[in-house]
């Protein structure tokens, strides 16, 4: 698994998905406020200005419906963001461009950029917003802009200022939250991050019916590494194993360190056969001559996640009891609820 220009790694992707869950209801409220403003202003602006706003909301609805299945969810979200920004710009153009105060609305989506994307994504988004601002201003009233450049300078400076302030605030928030959910040694997500994610997956599975797999893996006889080579060598091995996990997983799979040398992998929208292929690929790539035992549990229906993790743990125990360096799979629950 590799990063992209919008997300550096799977941790950034996890943050993007988490922030999308948090932003979604607020975004709907904000869109409602803009729609109400256009509705109240319809005697002067016309009702057709509402149509692009509906389109802006539609981009995010479409992106949200495909996030879990996407290998690069950041591209979906950035595409939805650009689409919504374009639709807002169209609504502004229809309402009169530089002649009305709605020109500053183009700055509103910029607030959410730093909550989702890397600095390069923020810069790209700001560039797009400024480009749309200039295009709308000159297309709707070039002469007004030339006669009074402040109608363009004011919203332009607002876009830049909003981007700077929101980025600084978000970087501070990410740092503090990262210390709470990221394992400091391996850079992997920890148990707290896992508890946040599994609830989201349960809710998603209830709506979509998509299967989910859980792999619980443990490095075999890892204590020997610490005892024979020292804890520094053991820490280096764990760091390399974490890197290998991230490199060989799909973008929407998430790996967590849940114990000393124990890892858990969440596999959204994955059936048993696919999950077996994933774990065998991971076991074959385990570095430092280490071997890995793994337990697998999948569900195709709604059930308690803690129970599923427990079944994966039981399967891991069976794999170790059978001689280690192998995969054991928990049977499907015959009594789904």
Check whether 226 has a pLDDT greater than 60.
yes
133/149 Cα distance (integer angstroms): 13
- Report yes or no on whether pTM surpasses 0.85: no
Mean pLDDT of the residues in the chain: 84
334/324 Cα distance (integer angstroms): 27
211/209 Cα distance (integer angstroms): 6
162: confidence class by pLDDT, cuts 50, 70, 90:
very high
Mean pLDDT of 285-293: 88
User: Parallel, antiparallel, or unpaired: how do β-strands 327-329 and 212-219 relate?
Assistant: unpaired
> What per-residue confidence (pLDDT) applies to 334?
45
Which of the following is catalytic: 261, 273, 303, 314?
A: 261
In order of their start, the domains of the chain are: 10-181 (no CATH), 191-329 (3.30.70.270)
**Which range is least confidently modeled, 50-59, 91-100, 288-297, 305-314?**
91-100
Tell which wins on pLDDT, 115 or 295. Answer: 295
User: Parallel, antiparallel, or unpaired: how do β-strands 327-329 and 292-299 relate?
Assistant: parallel
239/261 Cα distance (integer angstroms): 10
16/1 Cα distance (integer angstroms): 16
| Known catalytic membership, residue 74 | no
Check whether 317 has a pLDDT greater than 50.
yes
- Which 8-state DSSP code applies to residue 259? S
With a CB cutoff of 8 Å and minimum separation 6, the contacts of 44 are none
Check whether 179 has a pLDDT greater than 70.
no
Write the secondary structure of 133-167 as one string of H (helix), E (strand) and C (coil).
HHHHHHHHHHHHHHHCCHHHHHHHHHHHHHHHHHH
CB 265 within 8 A of CB 312: no
Per-residue pLDDT of 12-32, as tens digits, reads: 777 788 788 888 888 889 889
With a CB cutoff of 8 Å and minimum separation 6, the contacts of 319 are 293, 294, 295, 326, 327, 328
Check whether 331 has a pLDDT greater than 90.
no
With a CB cutoff of 8 Å and minimum separation 6, the contacts of 282 are 215, 217, 244, 245, 248, 249, 265, 292, 294
At 115 the three-state DSSP class reads helix
Q: What angle do CA 226, 232, 234 make, to 5 degrees?
A: 40
93 C-beta neighbours (distance < 10 Å), count? 21
Per-residue pLDDT of 80-112, as tens digits, reads: 999 999 998 988 888 876 767 788 889 999 999
Mean pLDDT of 194-203: 76
> What per-residue confidence (pLDDT) applies to 313?
93
H or E, element range at 245: helix 231-248
113: confidence class by pLDDT, cuts 50, 70, 90:
very high
212: confidence class by pLDDT, cuts 50, 70, 90:
confident
């Amino acid at each position: 698994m590799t990063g992209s220009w919008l997300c550096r790694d799977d941790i950034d992707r996890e943050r993007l998905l988490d922030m999308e869950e948090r932003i979604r209801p607020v975004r709907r409220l904000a869109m409602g406020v803009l729609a109400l403003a256009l509705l109240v202003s319809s005697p002067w602006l016309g009702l057709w200005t509402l149509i692009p706003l509906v389109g802006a909301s539609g981009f995010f609805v479409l992106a949200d419906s495909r996030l879990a299945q996407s290998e690069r969810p950041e591209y979906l979200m950035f595409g939805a963001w650009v689409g919504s920004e374009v639709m807002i710009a169209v609504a502004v153009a229809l309402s009169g461009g530089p002649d009305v105060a709605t020109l500053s609305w183009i700055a509103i989506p910029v607030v959410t950029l730093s909550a989702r994307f890397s600095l390069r994504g923020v810069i790209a988004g700001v560039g797009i917003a400024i480009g749309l601002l200039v295009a709308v201003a000159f297309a709707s009233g070039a002469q007004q802009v030339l006669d009074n450049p402040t109608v363009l300078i004011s919203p332009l400076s607002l876009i830049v200022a909003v981007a700077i302030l929101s980025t600084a605030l978000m970087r501070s928030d990410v740092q503090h939250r990262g210390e709470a959910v990221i394992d400091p040694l391996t850079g992997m997500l920890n148990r707290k991050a896992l508890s946040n994610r599994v609830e989201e997956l349960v809710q998603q599975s209830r709506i979509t019916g998509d299967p989910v797999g859980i792999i619980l893996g443990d490095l075999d006889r890892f204590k020997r590494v610490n005892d024979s080579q020292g804890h520094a060598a053991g820490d280096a091995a764990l760091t390399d194993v974490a890197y290998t996990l991230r490199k060989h997983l799909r973008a929407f799979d998430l790996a967590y360190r849940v114990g000393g040398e124990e890892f858990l992998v969440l596999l959204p929208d994955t059936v048993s056969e696919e999950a077996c292929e994933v774990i065998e690929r991971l076991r074959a790539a385990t570095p430092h001559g280490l071997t890995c035992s793994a337990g697998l549990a999948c569900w195709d229906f709604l059930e308690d996640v803690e129970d599923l993790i427990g079944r994966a743990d039981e399967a891991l125990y069976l794999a170790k009891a059978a001689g280690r360096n192998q995969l054991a799979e928990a049977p499907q629950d015959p009594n789904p609820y």
